Chains A and B, each alone.
Chain A
């Protein structure tokens, strides 16, 4: 079998393709990191309210997770982009369509944040539930209110428990940010496709994107390992930190 293909790795360093790759990498990171901040906030709230002993709060949490986990991400991004501006009050819808700065970017960020938030919430719920019940009871016996119990006892331990699954969620948000290309955010995957379409050098274009995604994965994993070590409670839980 012989491939009929003209190699040209130099194309990646030519103008404008070199700039396209960097711009793509920038937008991938921008979408993923901004969305992660939102996901972390939403996930913290959802994960917490799914474990409290207030039925209607748990109900809200469960419904949120069910909605955001059972609709494909690409459908969710279309809902945010095409449908939400039509369903909100007219003046706000007009603002979203006409005046909102970087509409594609912020739509993608909101969508990814809300979606990943549901997943982070599930992880946190599992983390809190993994804490032996004695901790909660001890906190109550000491006269801590429910809020104090969460703030000083359950959440600090729960968050430490879930660092490994959070690593894969954080990696997932970088990969999922590629879905933003469907509404016109020209991130890394979109740029590599664009280079392929302009130059027919698909091998080179997709290879550079692949290498950059692997680099992101490596950096994120190293970073999370540092966080895991820094936050480990001495002598209490090994938490996988070596």
Chain B
């Protein structure tokens, strides 16, 4: 069996696979950016003294975290065009789904990061007459993000792996492009082994990086 494998199919279709990986990385990058921004807002709401804000943010996070990502993708694939009133394309629906879903996870990471900053720092900021915004901007968030760097990278690796789930709506990412090539060229084994290998190497490099960052940024 193994001696019949012919990996030339990979090189023949290399630029298609590269385009697919481009979309995967682009989606990952946008979802990380959007997820961190929305997640930070959620975290600040969750830690807010205003009861209503922290309740709403907390409910949002628990709600999203009990749902499978595939269901969230289906939800927004159906909902986004309906709300906007016209078709917007699969990519944007999926991107909204990822940002909303990942923000719930980023919120928890960022909340833990903010809580890891020593209370005395906040008091010192207040004693210097800083407003809430200044205190967050110059004192708390810079330290919090520094503490969070390794776990943020870990979450980025998880997100990178999660983007493969766009398969369920047929967006042409690395996996979907690979699957199409596998079907057309009738080389399922070679293509899927290659896909798994690429994901494995990229995530393993990321995992090793996390270990290094953990040592470097340990306060």
Contact = CB atoms under 8 A, between A and B. Distances in A.
A75 B160 CA distance: 13
Contact-size category for A: 35 or more
Contacts, number: 105
B138 interface: no
A90 B193 CA distance: 19
A87 B192 CA distance: 13
A70 B165 contact: no
B68 A213 contact: yes
Interface string A93-136: 00000000000000000000000000000000000000000000
B8 interface: no
Interface residues of B, number: 35
A54 interface: no
B210 to A, nearest CB: 12
Interface stretch (B49-57, B116-124, B127-135, B194-202): B194-202
Contact of B67 (A67, A175, A177, A182): A175
Contacts of A174: 68
Interface string B1-23: 11000000000000000000000
B26 interface: no
A7 interface: no
B164 A72 contact: yes
Contacts of B74: 189, 192-193, 196, 206
Contact of A83 (B82, B188, B203): B188
Given A175-B67, A181-B70, A209-B71, A82 B188 contact: yes
B168 interface: yes
Contacts of A171: 66
The 7 closest A-B pairs by CB, nearest first: A70-B203, A178-B68, A72-B161, A217-B66, A202-B78, A72-B164, A175-B68
Interface of A: 1, 3-5, 66-67, 69-76, 78-79, 82-83, 86-87, 90, 171, 174-179, 181-182, 189, 192-193, 196, 202, 206, 209-210, 213-214, 216-217
27 contacts: A3-B82, A4-B85, A71-B161, A72-B162, A72-B164, A72-B165, A72-B175, A75-B164, A75-B192, A75-B196, A79-B192, A82-B189, A83-B188, A83-B192, A87-B1, A175-B66, A175-B67, A178-B69, A181-B168, A189-B68, A192-B71, A206-B74, A206-B75, A210-B67, A213-B67, A214-B66, A217-B66
Given A66-B207, A69-B207, 19 more contacts: A1-B83, A3-B83, A66-B204, A70-B199, A72-B161, A72-B162, A78-B179, A79-B192, A82-B192, A83-B189, A90-B1, A176-B68, A178-B68, A178-B69, A178-B71, A179-B70, A189-B71, A202-B78, A213-B67
